[in-house]
Amino acid sequence: MSNDQSDKAPPLSKIARDLAPSGIRKFFDIAAKMTDVISLGVGEPDFITPWGIREAGIYSIEKGQTTYTSNYGLIELRQEISKHLDRKYGVKYSPESEILVTVGVSEGMDLAMRSIIDPGDQVLVPEPCYVSYRPCVSLAGGEPVGVATTSQDNFRVSVAQLEKKLTQKTKAVILGFPSNPTGATMPRQALQEIVNFADKHNLFIISDEIYDRLTYEGEHTCIASLNNAMQRTITLNGFSKSYAMTGWRIGYACAPPTVLTAMMKIHSYTALCAPINAQKAALEALKQAESAVEEMVMQYNQRRRLIVDGLNAIGLKCHLPSGAFYAFPSVEATGLSSEEFAERLLYEEHVAVVPGTAFGEGGDGHIRCSYATSIEKIEIALERMGRFVEKVAPNLISKAKANESVVQTQRAAK
């Protein structure tokens, strides 16, 4: 018997009822019941947190550090974050008044929205994008406005696209590059144009840069480092992806003092502070883990090329993503929708991927394949996917093979 007697309880809030469940949930439920699933559906590193960082966390517990910290987070950690951003991107945030340690970027995004949104305000959300952006806007009483990007543009967003969705009510733009799920990154100049656009219309920019270190082509641009960006930008980042620290739940938000104070106020009532031991571990990450990051980036990069090559070889057209750890191939040529493709692939070949529709507009016709998994598993997954494609679209692979020789010739020419 279930304990759910919800018909007898008072009704839930409208906001909770209206909130859409995550499109990922369904696939999780199916996959969790199966054995021998190879999962390309995981949005977190397969690496374990480097030992030096884990050890710092353990040491902190041994020393009996079991208390609250400042609402802002440990000052040593904020100082180190400040130095890190200055060193890498030349951005100067004051550790005293412009940096807040959060419970992952997830909390940071929620705080950002609640600090700047009034009911009815619109927020531009280039899509496909991370699953929490829209809900965070809605929970704050705002209205998310999707801006679809396309594979033709390598899933980059342009000012022209944003302008089409601009209204009197537009308050902010959320940018998440390198992108989960598309792996897209934005060139510096294109970002500067978006900053100019935001400047012209007096919009906030919320920049989720959690994948900054996982940039494989060119260099990551921290939006706050661009001209006129600082005063209207909320930079969100954290330790989950670069340092393989998802479960520690440590992120940070950087913003001008007025905005940051508002975020800290909400944070002080809803989270109070991030866990102290995880903050200590994060401090160690910034001080000592550089070579571990470089090692992980190298391995992701090798897998990236391997999986994209493999996907194209089985006829799933895929541009080479320049960041994060996702490939976002098109499944249109198979004649299946992304939902059908993902569901049948899971049932018939036991490979889990996430349909692009889970990530908003522009995601249909694509699937997200995470390469945060070992090369051995990627190879088995590709083999199974190849078998599946052969079954649903018999001519696709031979066509892809014909293209393959062209690619090899082009590579040799380079």
Partner 1 sequence: MLNYQPMQLEAPDEILTILSRDARTSPEKIAKMLGRTVEQVTAAIAEFERLGVIKHYKTIIDWEKTGVEKVIAFIDVKVHPAREVGFDKVAERIYRFPEVQSLWLVSGGYDLRVAVEGANIREVGRFVAEKLAPIEGVMATETHFLLRKYKEDQVVFVDNEEDTRLVVTP
Between 262 and 306, CB nearer to partner 1:
306
| Residue 306 binds partner 1, judged by CB under 8 A | yes
128 preceded by a cis bond (ω within 30 of 0): yes
Find the shortest distance in angstroms from Cβ 298 to partner 1. Answer: 6
Which residue from 72, 89, 93, 130 is in contact with partner 1, where contact means CB under 8 A? 130
How far is it, in rounded angstroms, from Cα 52 to Cα 61? 15
Any idea which residue has 């100082």 for tokens? 79
Candidates 76, 309, 332, 390: give the one binding partner 1 (CB under 8 A).
309
Is 297 a binding residue for partner 1 by CB under 8 A? The answer is yes
Half-sphere exposure of 204 (CA within 13 A, CB side): 23
Question: If binding means CB under 8 A, how many residues of this protein chain bind partner 1?
Answer: 45
User: DSSP states of 222-262 as a string?
Assistant: -GGGSTTTGGGEEEEEESTTTTT-GGG--EEEE--HHHHHH
Contacts of 55 (CB under 8 A, 6+ apart): 284
Among 6, 228, 258, 302, binds partner 1 (CB under 8 A): 302
Q: Which stretch binds partner 1 (CB under 8 A): 2-10, 26-34, 146-154, 189-197?
A: 26-34
Please tell me the chain's helix, strand, coil percentages from 3-state DSSP, rounded to the nearest 5: 50, 15, 40
Q: Binding of partner 1 at residue 14 (CB under 8 A)?
A: no
Evaluate whether 396 touches 404 at the Cβ level (below 8 Å): no
**Distances, alpha carbon 239 to alpha carbons 21, 194, 213, in Å:** 26, 26, 10
Binding to partner 1 in span 236-265, by CB under 8 A: none
Q: For residue 266, state whether it binds partner 1 (rule: CB under 8 A).
A: no
* Of 69, 82, 102, 132, the one binding partner 1 by CB under 8 A: 132
Query: 171: buried, middle or exposed (CB in 10 Å: 19+, 13-18, 0-12)?
Result: buried
* 47 forms part of the interface with partner 1 (CB under 8 A): no
Chosen residue from 93, 155, 177, 216 binding partner 1 by CB under 8 A: 216
Q: Which of residues 320-359 bind partner 1 (CB under 8 A)?
A: 352, 354, 358
Nearest to 271 by CA among 298, 249, 255: 249
Closest separation between CB of residue 188 and partner 1, Å?
Answer: 14
Whether residue 156 contacts residue 110, with contact meaning beta carbons closer than 8 Å, is answered with: no
Asked if 397 interacts with partner 1 (CB under 8 A), we say: no
Q: Are 177 and 184 in contact (CB under 8 A)?
A: yes
Nearer to partner 1 by Cβ, of 150 and 302: the residue is 302
The DSSP secondary structure of 147-197, one letter per residue, reads EE--GGGTT---HHHHHHT--TTEEEEEE-SS-TTT-----HHHHHHHHHH
Taking CB under 8 A as the rule, does residue 183 contact partner 1?
no
Residue 381 CB, shortest distance to partner 1, in Å, is 13
62-70, 171-179, 193-201, 208-216 -> range binding partner 1 (CB under 8 A): 208-216
Among 6, 228, 270, 408, indicate the residue that binds partner 1 (CB under 8 A).
Answer: 408
Shortest gap between Cβ of 411 and partner 1 (angstroms)?
5
For the record, the structure tokens of 70 come out as 């400042």
Return the closest-CA partner of residue 259 out of 242, 236, 280: 236
Which residues of this protein are in contact with partner 1, per CB under 8 A? 22, 24, 27-28, 31-32, 37, 39, 41-44, 46, 48, 87-88, 130-132, 180, 213, 215-216, 219-220, 290-291, 293-294, 297-298, 301-303, 305-306, 309-310, 352, 354, 358, 375, 408, 411-412
